[in-house]
Structure 1
């Protein structure tokens, strides 16, 4: 089974490039099958990672960035391929 983890954050005023740089730097304890980084208007940064689900170990989540980079808490979603 393949699982996609989505991570989305809204940058604090004037910190869009800092948040994007932080998100692109990695932050995962192991490499996903695939990873894509996106931006959207309003200073939003989205990271989608794809994983082969191994239910004996939790999937690595991108952590929360430093508080000064974000305007609100991070949103996370988990999707399973059907």
Structure 2
């Protein structure tokens, strides 16, 4: 089974580049199948990691950044892959 962990944070206004750099410096215990970083309007950063694991597996999560970088608590979601479409 493939499990995707999503982590989303909103940077303090004007600190999105610093939050992005912080995210890039984070290492997880274990190696995900894939790790992808996204940016969005309103200074948001999203990280998705894919894992070959059961849905309820104990997987490493990104930590909470310091309050000087984020405007609100981090959002986290867990999903399981249900279907893969061809490219």
Question: What TM-score, normalized to structure 1?
Answer: 0.91
Which residue number corresponds to residue 53 of structure 1? Answer: 53
Which residue number corresponds to residue 76 of structure 2? Answer: 76
Which residue number corresponds to residue 40 of structure 1? Answer: 40
RMSD of Structure 2 on Structure 1 (CA): 1.6
Which structure has the greater CA radius of gyration?
Answer: 2
* Inter-partner Cα distance in structure 2 for 1:76 and 1:56: 14
Give the length in aligned residue pairs: 82
Moved over 4 A (4+): 54-57
Runs of 5+ consecutive residues of structure 2 not aligned to the other structure: 83-87
Runs of 5+ consecutive residues of structure 1 not aligned to the other structure: none
Segment drifting more, 68-77 vs 27-36: 27-36
